[in-house]
Amino acid sequence: MNAPIRIEHVREHGGWLDRYTHMSASCQCAMTFSVYLPPQAEFGPVPVLYWLSGLTCTDDNFRVKAGAQRYAAELGLVLVIPDTSPRGSEVPDDPAYDLGQAAGFYVDAERSPWSTHYQMHRYVTQELIGLVEAHFPVRPGVRAISGHSMGGHGALVLALRNPGLFRSASAFAPICHPSACPWGVKAFSHYLGEDEAAWRAWDATCLIEDGASAPPLLIDQGTADEFLSEQLHPEDFSRACARRGVPLTMRWQADYDHSYHFVGSFIGEHLAWHARALQAAEAASGAVPKGPVQERTA
C-alpha cells in the first residue's frame, strides 16, 4: 500500500490538521482525505472517528465549519475525513448537485458509467481504514463513525453492513430511508439500477428491518430542518429499531435546521459519546482498564 502524500499541515488545538492525497485502487482515481491528530497521538496510538460529509461537500466542510478539532484534542480522538466521492476529469459527473461528484452516497455502484469509480463503500471500509491503520497512530479496531445528511446515511449503512467494524455510530440529520425519498431514489436508480429490492442493502431502515445488527446508535435531528419531511424520514428508522429492539438514542433538537450551525452545536456531545463508547468497548474486551474518558490537561 503506497503511503499517502501530505499536501497541507496546520497546527490546531495542540495537534495537527493535515490533508492527504493518494491513488485509490477502489475508486481508480486520486482521492483526498483530511486527518486531525490530537496532542495525545504524539505519545502513542489513540481511537479514531471517521466522519462522512453530505451532498455538495468535500472533506473541507467539516474540518472548517464544525469545530470538532477542539473536542477531539480534549478527548484524544483522531478524526479522519474522506471526500464524498471520486473526482477528476475522468470521473463521470452530472450537472445536478445530488448525483455524481460530491454525491457518492457511500455505495458501491453497479451500473455503468458509475461502477468504475463510484465505490465509496469499499473505499471507506477497506482501503481508507487500511491506509489509516498502516500510516497513522490509531488503535487498530478501535473505530467510530459519524456523518451528516448523506454522510449520516453513509455512517449508518456502513456500520450496519459491516458488523464489528465500528464500535459506535452517530448521525446528524441522516437520510434514514433513501429508498423512500427523492434524493435516494435518484441516486440508487443511477448507481444500483431499477431493481428496488437491491436497494434494501444500502438503506439503513431496510437493513434494520431485515435483521442487521448494530453498534450503539445516536441520531440528532433538528425540528426546523427544511429537508425533514420529504428527504430524511428519521421516524421510519426509529420505528424499525423499536420493532426489532435495536437500541437507538434519538434526540430531537428544537428549532435547528440542516446546516453546520446545527452540526457545530452538538458535535462536542457526539465526540464525547463516541469516546465513552470506544472506551467501554475496549474495557469490555480487556484491552484497557475501566475508567473515565481521558481528557487532555493544560
Q: Could you give phi then psi for residue 100, rounded to 5 degrees? A: 85, -145
Q: Are 219 and 249 in contact (CB under 8 A)?
A: yes
Cis-peptide into 113, omega within 30 deg: yes
168 labelled catalytic: no
State the amino acid at position 19 in one-letter form. Answer: R
Query: 148, 177, 258, 274: which one is catalytic?
Result: 258
22 labelled catalytic: no
Helix (H) or strand (E) holding 251: strand 248-253
Query: 26, 34, 149, 170: which one is catalytic?
Result: 149
In sequence order, the β-bridge partners of residue 250 are 219
Angle between helices 68-75 and 260-285 (to 10 degrees): 20
59 labelled catalytic: no
Q: Are 205 and 237 in contact (CB under 8 A)?
A: yes
Query: 225, 236, 270, 274: which one is catalytic?
Result: 225
Q: Are 176 and 231 in contact (CB under 8 A)?
A: no
Cβ atoms within 10 A of the Cβ of 195, count? Answer: 10
Distance CA 204, CA 207 (A): 5
Q: Are 262 and 222 in contact (CB under 8 A)?
A: yes
Q: Of 178, 254, 179, which Cα lies nearest the Cα of 220?
A: 254
Q: How many CA atoms lie within 13 A of 13 on its CB side?
A: 21
List the grid coordinates of 144: 467510530
Distance CA 184, CA 166 (A): 24
In sequence order, the β-bridge partners of residue 22 are 31
Please list the active-site residues.
149, 225, 258
